[in-house]
Amino acid sequence: MLKVGDVLKNIEAIDYSSEGLGVAKFEHYTLFISSLLKGEVGDVEILYFKGKDIAFAKTKKIHKFSPHRITPLCPIHSACGGCSFQTVTYEEELNIKRDKVKKDLLKIAHIDFEVKDVVGMKNYHHYRNKIEIPIKEDKRKKCLIYGLYRKNSHDIISFSHCLLAKECLEVALAKVVDILNNYRVKAYDEQRHDGFIRHLVLRANERDEMMLTIVTKDDNIPQLDKIVKDIVSNVPNIKSIVLNIQDKKSNVILGEKERLLFGDKYLSVQLLNNKYEVSSKSFLQVNYLMCEKLYTRAIELANLSKDDVVLDAYSGIGTIGLSVANKVKHVYGVEIVKDAIEDANMNVKINNIGNASYVCGDAREYMLNYRDIKFDVVFVDPPRKGLSSSFIDSLLKRKPKKIIYISCNPSTLARDLAILKDKYNIEAIEPFDMFPRTYHVETIVGLILKK
C-alpha cells in the first residue's frame, strides 16, 4: 500500500491527464504527476490520494528527459499551477491539446472523426484581457499583498509578472495596490469575515483601456473618494471603477451589489464588425485575437443565408449572434446572467441592429417557452459543464438544420455529441488555442441535420 510521502523510483509517464499532468501506472494505482512529461522517467513523491486507485505525485528527479521539455519562463509556475505547459514547447502543447480532444471524443462518444490541428497563436503570452487577483494582508509588514493562489490552496504567492496577462493589467494592478496601501485599507480576513478588499478585477479592451472592479466585504471603505481620485490620476487608461460588494462567506468572486465609483459603467470592446459595451459581471472571451479567429470560423461553418433564423444560446453579451445579424433574417439569444443580457440588448442598439432579440433565462427553459420559433441555425457556447440533457432533447425535437457547438471542455463536448450524433452528422471538429500555456482548449464542432 502506498502512503503519502513515499518516493517511487524510475516511473515513466505514458500519457497526459486532461489537466496536463503526467500519467503513469504503478501496481494498481494510476499516478497523476506534476512536471513529468510523456516519455520521461523520474522519481516521484506521493502527495495525496483520490479514492483507492488514484494518487497525485510530484517529480523529485528526472532520469530521462523529453525532447519537448523547455526551461519555464515563470519562476512561480509550478506553485501557481495556472500554466500547465510552461515546461513544454508550444508546438507540443498544441499536439497534446489536439490529442486530448481526439481521445475524449473516441473514449466518451466513440466518435472517430478527423480533429484538425489546433489553431495556435504566434505570440502566445500576455493574451488575457482580464485578471481576478486575490488580496490579503501581510500580517508582518501590515500592508496589502496580491498574488495568485497556490495550487489547491488559499495561500497567496506574490508575483510581479504573469506571462498570461496583458501587460497593462499588471502595471495597473501594482499601482492600485500601492494606492490602497497608502490609505492603509484593510484586506478581507477570511477567518474573521471582516475587513474590506477581497479581490481586484481588471479587464482591458483591445486598446488597453481598463475597467477596475474593487471587490470588498463592506461598502464603507474609509477615504474611498480620495482613493478613487488617486487611482484615476495615477493609473493611465482606467476608464471605469466599480465597487462590488461581496459580503458572503464564499469562493464566488463577485457579489450581487455594485456601485459605480468613476467613469462609465461599461468598457467598450471592438470584436469583428461590432462595438460592444461590457459591464463588470458579464462574461467576455479572455483572448481577443483567438476569439475573433474562432468566431470567424464558427460563422463560416454555419454557412448562413438571408432567410435563416438563428439562435445564439449561452450568448453572454451577444457577441456571436450580433456578428451574424447582418447575414440572416433574425437572431434570437438567451443567456442566464441578467447584466450580460442588459449589455446584449444595449449592444443591439448601439450597433443599429434591427433583427435581434435577447432574453434572460436558462437555455433549457427558453427552448420550452419559445416553442413557436423555428431555428435554422443554433450556436451553442455553454460553460464547462456543457449542455443540459433537456436542452439537447429540445434541440433534437426542433431539428435546426445546423448546430455550431463551441466548447471549452472536450469531455462534456464528447458527452453531448454522443447524443447529438444520432440525428446530426459531424462536418468539422476544429480546436482553437484560446488559452495558451494552460490545459484548456476550445473546440468548434459543425453539425448538420441528417436527411
Would you name the residues annotated as active-site residues? Answer: 408
Give the pairing of strands 238-245 and 210-216.
parallel
Which string of x and - marks every residue 361-380 that binds ligand SAH (by CB under 6 A)? -xx-----------------
Question: Between residues 232 and 272, which has the closer beta carbon with respect to ligand SAH?
Answer: 272
Question: Between residues 170 and 433, which has the closer beta carbon with respect to ligand SAH?
Answer: 433
Interacting residue with ligand SAH among 40, 335, 342, 416 (CB under 6 A): 335
9, 45 in Cβ contact below 8 A?
A: no
User: Does 381 help bind ligand SAH (rule: CB under 6 A)?
Assistant: yes
User: Scanning residues 65 to 84, which ones bind ligand SAH (CB under 6 A)?
Assistant: none
Q: For the CB of residue 221, give the shortest distance to ligand SAH in the complex, in Å.
A: 29
d(CA 362, CA 336): 5
Pick the stretch among 91-99, 122-130, 336-344, 414-422 that binds ligand SAH (CB under 6 A).
336-344
Question: Between residues 88 and 211, which has the closer beta carbon with respect to ligand SAH?
Answer: 211
> Could you tell me the three cell numbers for 89?
514547447
303, 402 in Cβ contact below 8 A?
A: yes
d(CA 404, CA 296): 12
Q: For the CB of residue 336, give the shortest distance to ligand SAH in the complex, in Å.
A: 4
Pick the stretch among 116-124, 262-270, 335-343, 423-431 that binds ligand SAH (CB under 6 A).
335-343
- Position with the least CB separation from ligand SAH: 316
Q: For the CB of residue 316, give the shortest distance to ligand SAH in the complex, in Å.
A: 3
User: Does 332 help bind ligand SAH (rule: CB under 6 A)?
Assistant: no
Residue/partner pairs of 291-296 with CB below 8 Å, 24 or more apart: 291/319, 291/434, 293/119, 293/432, 294/119, 294/406, 294/432, 294/434, 294/442, 294/444, 295/271, 295/319, 295/320, 295/323, 296/272
d(CA 287, CA 126): 9
Task: Compute the radius of gyration of the chain from its Cα atoms.
Answer: 23
Interacting residue with ligand SAH among 279, 287, 319, 323 (CB under 6 A): 319
User: Does 315 help bind ligand SAH (rule: CB under 6 A)?
Assistant: yes
Which string of x and - marks every residue 383-402 that binds ligand SAH (by CB under 6 A)? x-------------------
Interacting residue with ligand SAH among 320, 346, 403, 441 (CB under 6 A): 320
Question: Between residues 168 and 408, which has the closer beta carbon with respect to ligand SAH?
Answer: 408
> Could you tell me the three cell numbers for 434?
484560446
Tell me which amino acid residue 340 is: A
Interacting residue with ligand SAH among 121, 337, 353, 428 (CB under 6 A): 337
Residue 156 host element (H or E): strand 156-157
Give the up-direction half-sphere exposure of residue 224: CA atoms within 13 A in the CB hemisphere: 17
Pick the stretch among 208-216, 246-254, 331-339, 394-402 that binds ligand SAH (CB under 6 A).
331-339
Number of residues in contact with ligand SAH under rule CB under 6 A: 18
Question: Between residues 216 and 315, which has the closer beta carbon with respect to ligand SAH?
Answer: 315
Pick the stretch among 249-257, 314-322, 341-349, 413-421 that binds ligand SAH (CB under 6 A).
314-322
Residue 104, classed as helix, strand or coil, is: helix
Interacting residue with ligand SAH among 29, 56, 127, 283 (CB under 6 A): 283
**Nearest alpha-carbon partner for 326 in 351, 349, 301:** 351
> Could you tell me the three cell numbers for 136?
490579503
> Could you tell me the three cell numbers for 12?
515513466
Q: For the CB of residue 430, give the shortest distance to ligand SAH in the complex, in Å.
A: 16
Q: What is the largest CA-CA distance in the chain?
A: 70
Strand 210-216: give its sheet, edge to edge: 143-146, 130-138, 197-204, 210-216, 238-245, 257-263
Q: For the CB of residue 283, give the shortest distance to ligand SAH in the complex, in Å.
A: 4
- List residues binding ligand SAH (CB under 6 A): 283-285, 314-316, 319-320, 334-337, 340, 362-363, 381-383
